[in-house]
Chain A
Amino acid sequence: MSHETVVARLKAEAKPWPRGNRYEDFSPGRDFAHHWGRTVTEADNTLFSILTLNYNPQYTNAEIARANGHPTTPVNPLLVFNTVFGLSVEDLSEGGGPFLGVEDCEYLAPVFPGDTLTARSRVIDARESDKRPAFGIVTWATQGFNQRGEEVIRFRRTNLVRKRA
């Protein structure tokens, strides 16, 4: 078969692997245990902190971190937030729809390089959008945990979420 024939068959016959949820999937009370988890490394912490210009030196200078009372450089809390948020995206928001807001984000325990983050979410509200009939408005309560099961962060996120066509 020619390459063109191979590609034509792929495009005509392959089934799209399903990914992401839609508005109809978010019944209030539904729980999601998000994929993968992420061991946060010192390199992650340094790279994230310097690319975002986050010049609190306790994230990039271990001596200052210790002088501040930490055992070593704590992971930048915004990296904890972005990682837990990132792990939740496939289940919650990859199906499409703009971000509306985050409320009540609390940092409950410090995270250190080598800790492994996992994320869970619960649907706490789902309602129609008056302005955009193709979307609904969904709010989730998301929690991040370390490898000992201790909750390190929680927040509530609201998105517009696309409905099924």
Chain B
Amino acid sequence: MSASAALTSANNYFEDFAPGDLWRHRRGKTVTEMDNVLLTNLVMNTAEGHFNEHAMQQGASGIFAQRVVFGGINLSMTLGLAAQDTAEQVLSEVSMTGIRLSNPVFHGDTLYAFTEVLSAAPSDREDAGLVTFRHYGINQDDKLCVQADRTALMKRRSHWGAA
């Protein structure tokens, strides 16, 4: 048994995921001004459409009349909302593709995450396998905001789980 098994869930190892499984994650998150401005500035994204409310009200973007949440945050929040269930046993993230941000997120909008298992396959390590997920993020009005495919190297219960 690994040191982490006592501190994490018992139902989200490699063996627990089968292609076709579709999950709704338990919690949503209201994306606040704090989340957007803090994280946009933290990663030094210089696009003021994410942090200059006055310019947006003046029509600077030509599209939105208020700050819009940086898409990298929408992606990260969706994958974060899915993380306890689909990343708690992950040793390393491998790749992402098919990232689409199909609807803007504004301060005060709430994101909910869903996940579909696309594949589960052995890796070159006997103690872990590769799982590919398709993650979805929708807002409070049921608009699809985020979609992304993600592959991660996940612990096998046989090697890492509680005895």
What residues of chain A have their CB less than 8 Å away from a CB belonging to chain B? 19, 36, 38, 44, 47-49, 51-58, 61, 63-64, 67-69, 74, 77-79, 81-83, 85-87, 89-90, 93-94, 96, 98-107, 110, 155, 162
Contacts and interface: CB of A to CB of B under 8 A. Distances in A.
Given A55-B83, A105-B97, 14 more contacts: A47-B38, A48-B76, A51-B39, A53-B29, A53-B83, A53-B84, A54-B76, A54-B80, A56-B88, A63-B3, A78-B80, A78-B93, A79-B76, A82-B72
The 5 closest A-B pairs by CB, nearest first: A86-B43, A52-B80, A86-B45, A102-B99, A53-B80
Contacts of A90: 46
A165 B94 CA distance: 41
A1 to B, nearest CB: 25
Given A53-B83, A90-B46, A81 B38 contact: no
Contacts of A101: 98-101
A56 to B, nearest CB: 4
Interface of B: 2-4, 7-8, 27, 29, 35, 38-40, 42-48, 61-63, 70-73, 75-77, 79-81, 83-84, 87-88, 90-101
Contacts of A36: 44
A89 B46 contact: yes
Given A82-B72, A101-B100, A55 B95 contact: no
Given A57-B88, A86-B43, A103-B98, A52 B77 contact: yes
Contact of A61 (B7, B45, B70, B97): B7
Helix, strand, loop or mixed for chain B's interface?
Answer: mixed
A103 B97 contact: yes
Nearest to B99: A102
A38 B43 CA distance: 8
A48 B79 CA distance: 12
Contact of A103 (B46, B76, B99): B99
A93 B3 CA distance: 44
B4 A85 contact: no
A78 B79 contact: yes
A146 B87 CA distance: 24
Nearest to A69: B91
Contacts of B2: 67
B45 A85 contact: yes
A87 B3 CA distance: 37
A42 to B, nearest CB: 13
A33 B40 CA distance: 20
A105 B95 contact: yes
Given A68-B91, A106-B95, A82 B73 contact: yes
